[in-house]
Amino acid sequence: MTTSKLQVAFQGEIGAYSEEAALALYPEAETRPFPSFEAVFAAVEMGSVNRAVLPIENSLFGSVHQNYDLLREHNLRIVGEVQLRIKHQLLSLEGSRLDLITHVFSHPQALGQCQRFLKERLPNAEIVPSYDTAGAAKKISVMGQKTHAAIASRAAAVEYGLFTLASDIESNQENYTRFLALSSHELEAPEGSESRITPDSGNAEVEIKTSLLYAQKENLPGGLFKSLAVFALRDIDLYKIESRPLIGSPGKYIFYLDLRGHQDDEKVKNALHHLQEIAAFVKVLGSYKSGRFIS
Amino acid sequence: MTTSKLQVAFQGEIGAYSEEAALALYPEAETRPFPSFEAVFAAVEMGSVNRAVLPIENSLFGSVHQNYDLLREHNLRIVGEVQLRIKHQLLSLEGSRLDLITHVFSHPQALGQCQRFLKERLPNAEIVPSYDTAGAAKKISVMGQKTHAAIASRAAAVEYGLFTLASDIESNQENYTRFLALSSHELEAPEGSESRITPDSGNAEVEIKTSLLYAQKENLPGGLFKSLAVFALRDIDLYKIESRPLIGSPGKYIFYLDLRGHQDDEKVKNALHHLQEIAAFVKVLGSYKSGRFIS
């Protein structure tokens, strides 16, 4: 690497929502786009970047199981988290106006989320699906026509020198995506906070989360209940529990679990030890500062 | 309704995967497309259709929270389930061949899932994103050019009179979507099975599932653990547990739970009664026959 800036990988085109999340967590970083989640994991593992920022769940569309699978297969550590409100902007060239727009380009999901706006404000515009939101913004900038607009992020507007004709045009305001920051190794102190954090998460100012995956032993009666007892018996709060059936293995599940506390806290260590007694496998993915909501 | 056939609503264009799921559950039915999930719920409520078939979770992309929200807000009943393997077909006109194809149309998600095939077999084809897979198939049929192909379902091939140039071209073979059948009222007997089923789900031949939503009472210590004890203490197996944070209400969660058994089984009734004691709200969504995997 020729620069001393932190290098952060994300999946997608420059100006993607993932890049916005990366910059929310690491404002000073240099962001680097990769074509797939696999490529992002490989880049962190090979040391060609210092961090990755990837979506892990969306408030409308659920958990990104692909990234949970990659976390299971690889040995990266979760070191940070941010929750980004997905806000869509209608972007065009300087000097364009809403009443000039005849064509709107974007990813089908973004177009769907802005359906109401499009129907009310641009009922005659032609809707053109694109591969991704940032790619649509890039296209508008290259085409150079004031009659054409894209629906994309604020970051895409900056990247491709576009102007915002209408802001926050999505109908559902509760569209959040949770992103995780990954590193090749555990960090000494959690990132993404101004205040200093100790492993003891009793500190009321900041909350530390630990994420883990586990699978129950086969034929363990009441296995899920017993695995949660491990935490309940020690008054450890849970932020997330999700079962995921293993395709092709009826009756077998993987569990995603986020708990309050650091993996080095005494009671968390004890709980994880206890969990190992009753689980077929346990994989701790990392301890990190609970992410801010960015809107 | 002018026909005596069962009318089944789905979201999307004719030939969508949701229609394939509807026909897997109800082979004799007449399927009817609607533009949005909301419109599908409204059609069942108003009695303009008898059933709806909607996606509820995907093995790669997680739970469809939008449909869980609609199940919470409306009073439809889940009456059936099917798990459909999402298989993508490369479709074109009669007389076309793989080596003639210069353009491939589909939804970005399907294009992404067939990336490996496209790279290896059609490295020079132009990739054109579309609003949905069935719409892409329709477009190919209307355009009438043997150089153009769509990636879509088998149902779309039938609907738009297209021919399959290559079958099952997705790289990930573990792409399943779970669909639910909804009705405006509880049915006397579970659907989707040849064998007769009684409320007592002890029958080894068929498994009956019950789905429910609940929220914990605020400030109930160990609330999740206690809510699962309700089932564990009665030896009721769980198929799915998922927590979903309520946006804007930190620390508050909704839980999705699927259990083994019928809501009219004695021990399930007792468990639900017990759950009501400790939950802020409980909503039983229906009891239905556990869905077959269709591939």
Predicted confidence at residue B190, as pLDDT, reads 67
Give the H/E segment covering residue B287: strand B279-289
pLDDT digits over A115-157, tens only?
899 999 999 999 999 988 999 999 999 999 999 999 999 989 9
pLDDT digits over B238-290, tens only?
999 999 987 777 778 899 999 999 999 999 999 999 999 999 999 999 999 99
Q: How far apart are CA A87 and CA A175, in angstroms?
A: 8
Give the H/E segment covering residue A268: helix A266-278
Among residues B10, B179, B231, B255, the one annotated as catalytic is B179
Predicted confidence at residue A3, as pLDDT, reads 57
Taking the alpha carbons at both ends of chain A, their separation in whole angstroms is 32
Instruction: List the structure tokens of B62.
Output: 């997680």
Does the pLDDT value for residue B192 go beyond 70? no
The answer to whether residues A129 and A11 touch, using CB atoms and an 8 Å cutoff, is: no
The answer to whether residues B158 and B20 touch, using CB atoms and an 8 Å cutoff, is: no
Q: Torsions phi, psi of B69, nearest 5?
A: -65, -40
Compare CB distances from B224 to A107, A221, A228 and report the shortest one's residue.
Answer: A228
Distance from CA of A69 to the nearest CA of B (A): 9
Per DSSP (E only), the strands in chain A are 7-11, 30-34, 51-58, 62-63, 77-85, 89-92, 103-106, 126-129, 148-152, 163-166, 176-183, 208-216, 238-245, 253-260, 279-289, 293-294
Give how far Cα B259 sits from Cα of A214, A229, B77, B207, B256, Å.
20, 19, 16, 10, 10
Whose structure tokens read 């309704």?
A: B1
Distance from CA of A229 to the nearest CA of B (A): 7
Predicted confidence at residue A262, as pLDDT, reads 96
> Which residues on chain A are in Cβ contact (under 8 Å) with B132?
108
CB contact under 8 A, A65 and B64: no
Helices B65-73 and B37-45 meet at what angle, rounded to 10? Answer: 30
pLDDT along chain A (295 residues), means of 10: 82 93 95 94 97 93 91 96 94 96 94 92 94 94 96 94 96 90 86 45 68 89 88 92 82 90 96 95 95 78
User: Rg of the Cα trace of chain A?
Assistant: 21
The answer to whether residues A6 and A30 touch, using CB atoms and an 8 Å cutoff, is: yes
| Ranges in chain A annotated CATH 3.40.190.10 | 7-86+175-183, 89-166
Give the H/E segment covering residue B51: strand B51-58
The answer to whether residues B242 and A57 touch, using CB atoms and an 8 Å cutoff, is: no
Q: How far apart are CA A150 and CA A127, in angstroms?
A: 10
Q: Which residues contact B264 (CB under 8 A, 6 or more apart)?
A: B199, B287
Whose structure tokens read 């709980």?
A: A271
Q: Which residues contact B119 (CB under 8 A, 6 or more apart)?
A: none
CATH of domain B208-294: 3.30.70.260
Compare CB distances from A62 to B57, B229, B239 and report the shortest one's residue.
Answer: B57
Domain B7-86+175-183, second-level architecture: 3-Layer(aba) Sandwich (3.40)
The answer to whether residues A13 and A20 touch, using CB atoms and an 8 Å cutoff, is: no
| Alpha-carbon torsion, ordered A267, A270, A271, A274, to 10 deg | -160
> Which residues on chain B are in Cβ contact (under 8 Å) with A247?
59, 174, 176
DSSP, res A99: G
Amino acid (one-letter) located at A247: I
Give the length of chain A: 295
CB contact under 8 A, A228 and B231: no
Distance from CA of B226 to the nearest CA of A (A): 9
CB contact under 8 A, B61 and A59: no
Q: How far apart are CA B204 and CA B250, in angstroms?
A: 42
Q: How far apart are CA B278 and CA B274, in angstroms?
A: 7
Q: How far apart are CA A41 and CA A76, in angstroms?
A: 8
CATH of B89-166 among 3.30.70.340, 3.30.70.1450, 3.40.50.300, 3.40.190.10: 3.40.190.10
Whose structure tokens read 């802001």?
A: A167
The answer to whether residues A153 and A134 touch, using CB atoms and an 8 Å cutoff, is: yes
DSSP SS3 for A6: coil
Compare CB distances from A108 to B108, B221, B238 and report the shortest one's residue.
Answer: B108
Instruction: Quote helix, strand, coil % in chain A, to nearest 5.
Output: 30, 35, 40
Predicted confidence at residue B205, as pLDDT, reads 58
pLDDT digits over B134-150, tens only?
999 999 999 999 999 99
- Label the pairing between strands A253-260 and A51-58: unpaired
> Which residues on chain A are in Cβ contact (under 8 Å) with B108?
107-108, 129-132
pLDDT digits over B48-103, tens only?
999 999 999 988 888 999 999 999 999 999 999 999 999 999 999 999 999 999 99
Active-site residue set of A: 177, 179
pLDDT digits over B216-242, tens only?
888 777 888 899 999 999 999 999 999
> Please, what sign has the CA dihedral across residues A172, A238, B228, B239?
positive
Give how far Cα B93 sits from Cα of A60, A86, B132, B137, B141, Å.
37, 40, 19, 10, 7
| Ranges in chain B annotated CATH 3.30.70.260 | 208-294
Burial of A87 (0-12, 13-18, 19+ CB in 10 A): middle
DSSP SS3 for B41: helix
Predicted confidence at residue B276, as pLDDT, reads 95
Residue of B241, B253, B259 to mutate, testing the A interface (most A Cβ within 10 Å of its Cβ): B241
Predicted confidence at residue B221, as pLDDT, reads 78
Range with the poorest average pLDDT among A211-215, B35-39, B289-293: B289-293
CB contact under 8 A, B60 and A65: yes
Predicted confidence at residue B131, as pLDDT, reads 85
Q: Please spell the DSSP secondary structure of A49-70, one letter per residue.
A: SSEEEEEEEETTTEE-HHHHHH
The answer to whether residues A106 and A152 touch, using CB atoms and an 8 Å cutoff, is: yes
| Residues of chain A contacting B, Cβ within 8 Å | 57, 59-66, 107-108, 111, 127, 129-132, 174, 176, 221-222, 224-225, 228-229, 231-232, 235, 238-243, 245, 247-248
DSSP SS3 for B151: strand
Choose between B153 and A172: higher pLDDT.
B153
Burial of A202 (0-12, 13-18, 19+ CB in 10 A): exposed
| Residues of chain B contacting A, Cβ within 8 Å | 57-66, 107-108, 111, 127, 129-132, 174, 176, 221-222, 224-225, 228-229, 231-232, 235, 238-243, 245, 247-248
> Which residues on chain A are in Cβ contact (under 8 Å) with B224?
228, 232, 238, 241
* A129 alpha-carbon distance from chain centroid: 23
Residue of A224, A249, A258 to mutate, testing the B interface (most B Cβ within 10 Å of its Cβ): A224
> Minimal CA–CA distance to A240: which of A74, A72, A70, A68?
A68
Taking the alpha carbons at both ends of chain B, their separation in whole angstroms is 32
> B179 catalytic, yes or no?
yes
> Which residues on chain A are in Cβ contact (under 8 Å) with B130?
108, 129
Give the length of chain B: 295
Q: Which residues contact B231 (CB under 8 A, 6 or more apart)?
A: A225, B237, B238, B259, B271
Instruction: List the structure tokens of B220.
Output: 């109930």
Predicted confidence at residue B17, as pLDDT, reads 94
Q: In this structure, how many other beta carbons lie within 10 angstroms of the beta carbon of residue A146?
A: 17
